[in-house]
Structure 1
């Protein structure tokens, strides 16, 4: 079956839950281009790295969702899918909903079990109830391939694969998305309350897939992107079994740190078991059903997509500061702080142990204090040089280069020097 480009879109009102991300903002603009009467992006955030796509099109941001919904073609509506009243107001008068609001896909978010279930399961229930209550006839749920993938190899998978057992998921995100998807699909055909007809639902399962035909080795696919950005390619490999052990260690440590997971100063874990499976275990899927039933045809070739991606990231890199990892920051800042404490604080409690440890390397208090003074002076001198150089090669970020180099010294300056050589 082949559908026209605007079929089912012209004159309709759409809600995109979780619409300020890259996919959501692109979807909003595409719906509008194809003749939608109104598109509402419903999101918890007021801004995002992709929201400028909408704002550049003259989109209005409504701080509350109690205002008139007929003010413009695209509305950025601030609300939370976990609050039933927010969802009810956002979906009032809509014809179709794209539900892609979710939480906990990776990093620290993945370990916040309660929040993950609240957003992904309870939030989906609120969307379903609002659809039935307000007569929304179409719901497209953006799920994930993780509902059928749990670390075991999948070759050319399709829609007939069974769900992964709920008790066997290694992360709450995949489990919650599996439950939510089944709730959505079981609601297909549910009678509407205020209108004649039924609610029709479907689910799609996006994955890290690129290209129209053959499976892609992620590492080889990313090689030209990394090389274009002058990042070093990995020189060593790590077996999946060893990476899983490392991932479980990080999972244990960050579970202990649960009360502080939302704090900005706590870096993202290096890896978690689910991320090891996604990177280290072969899994790819067929889009044959979409091609046969919806007439899906890839619009961008892999070569065109990679060229556009390289251009985007090169431009983005030039607009921002280059710098080392968070672990380098911790090493430099914590190291200088500990050296200052050992050199100048009174010797009591743990300071005595720290001072004895430092004296083992520096041999005397005088040497220790001179090292700290010289290191501080070097950082100040390097920061002033960085500010002067950045004024010539990267004036928009000159202040940022100054402060970063003041904290990190040569560990930051080397990135600015590399940029200057270009």
Structure 2
């Protein structure tokens, strides 16, 4: 990546797991890096990587960080999983208004390139998708089961529509593209994997759900870093701006059953893999009831739901995509990775076989089966016409 040696990159959400990994990779190639986030990075950061504390919801703060930047990686978002998915107001402010602020700052300050980190969810809402590609239309906004997916769709549409917008001062036009990654994994990932390991260690992970043949996808953090670097280069004149206005699905390219993907992690930490398989309709109903309860008591007790409806769909319903377009236009070739390094990362931090919190496990299982009973009972109620 010769281009990276003279470029200055602004990375929104740069203190997060993926943003920081992207920053370090670009820094090693000689690029100048500005991390923009609400909190500093947890990891030790090279002295010449600049951290700017700010919030993308505040345009004035965005504007202070952007002068002199050649390319923006817009990674910052909110509401991807867990209880965050239920905070509609904050999701809207960060994902939609925040993205508008980034686009405005780029055009007003002459930033010619923007790579947006999107999601599979812009086309997926619980329907089966096998080997889908970028010709799939956006899922109609009212069909999204969660506000995060809806707002990410709105943000991606705005980013791609902005490609070709004239820059202030007559210095060219803004070139944009969007990458739609699968679920991210890798050693040190802090959003999903600790939550999963917590469920395993607390004895909650006693069942799987959905069909054993259902397939989903994941992307290793290093493959996602590679895709972003390639996308930024593909927006340059040296590559004839070939990625401008385009969206790309990004994954490891290996569809797998969600629970089988995590088997090495479960067994690597010394726990038995569950044998009980439950129907996805039951788990979805359980998640629905949990969300209602959270809506009612969330203002007083913001508990972490075991699963949300979107998480049930994303883990239990087949949806995977081919990457012909990313390979042809970006030159993306994902490297093969496994969960071995993830297992070692957790074991090195004291995680492993422990038997505890059996009461919590029994309590949650009782709730699940009570929910099943209610669902079955409701199915026998007569349908009353209006």
Counterpart of 1:64? none
Residue 181 in structure 1 maps to residue 171 in structure 2? no
Greater relative CO (CA pairs within 8 A, separation 6+): 2
Choose the corresponding residue for 2:360, options 308, 320, 328: 328
Counterpart of 2:333? 297
Counterpart of 2:115? 140
Please give the alpha-carbon distance, in whole angstroms, between the structure 2 residues aligned to 1:93 and 1:192: 14
Please give the alpha-carbon distance, in whole angstroms, between the structure 2 residues aligned to 1:290 and 1:329: 43
Residue 58 in structure 1 maps to residue 46 in structure 2? yes
Going from structure 1 to structure 2, the CA distance change for 1:141 and 1:260 (only over 3 Å counts) comes to farther
Going from structure 1 to structure 2, the CA distance change for 1:86 and 1:148 (only over 3 Å counts) comes to same
The TM-score with structure 2 as length reference comes to 0.73
Q: How does 1:236-385 map to 2 (within 5 A)?
A: 236-260=276-300, 266-299=302-335, 301-302=336-337, 305-318=338-351, 324=356, 328=360
Deviation at 1:326, TM superposition (A): 10
Counterpart of 1:218? 258
Deviation at 1:267, TM superposition (A): 3.0
Going from structure 1 to structure 2, the CA distance change for 1:105 and 1:224 (only over 3 Å counts) comes to same
* 3-state SS of 1:297 partner: coil
Structure 1 stretches of at least 4 aligned residues deviating more than 3 Å after TM superposition: 210-214, 320-331
Going from structure 1 to structure 2, the CA distance change for 1:258 and 1:147 (only over 3 Å counts) comes to same
Please give the alpha-carbon distance, in whole angstroms, between the structure 2 residues aligned to 1:78 and 1:156: 40
Deviation at 1:323, TM superposition (A): 7.3
Larger Rg: 1
Going from structure 1 to structure 2, the CA distance change for 1:245 and 1:329 (only over 3 Å counts) comes to closer
Deviation at 1:218, TM superposition (A): 1.9
Q: CA RMSD in A?
A: 2.2
* 3-state SS of 1:204 partner: strand
- Give deviations 1:318-354, integer Å, cap 9, x for gaps: 5x996745973998xxxxxxxxxxxxxxxxxxxxxxx
Counterpart of 2:371? none
- Give deviations 1:207-258, integer Å, cap 9, x for gaps: 1224744411221121122101012322311211111110110010001123
Is this contact kept in 2: 1:267–1:326, CA < 8 A?
Answer: no
* 3-state SS of 2:55 partner: coil
Q: Kindly indicate which of the two structures has a greater share of residues assigned to helix.
A: 1
Deviation at 1:20, TM superposition (A): 1.3
Counterpart of 2:40? 46
Please give the alpha-carbon distance, in whole angstroms, between the structure 2 residues aligned to 1:117 and 1:278: 21
Q: How does 1:386-405 map to 2 (within 5 A)?
A: none
Please give the alpha-carbon distance, in whole angstroms, between the structure 2 residues aligned to 1:329 and 1:153: 31
The TM-score with structure 1 as length reference comes to 0.67
* 3-state SS of 2:25 partner: helix
Going from structure 1 to structure 2, the CA distance change for 1:200 and 1:237 (only over 3 Å counts) comes to same
Choose the corresponding residue for 1:103, options 78, 83, 99: 78
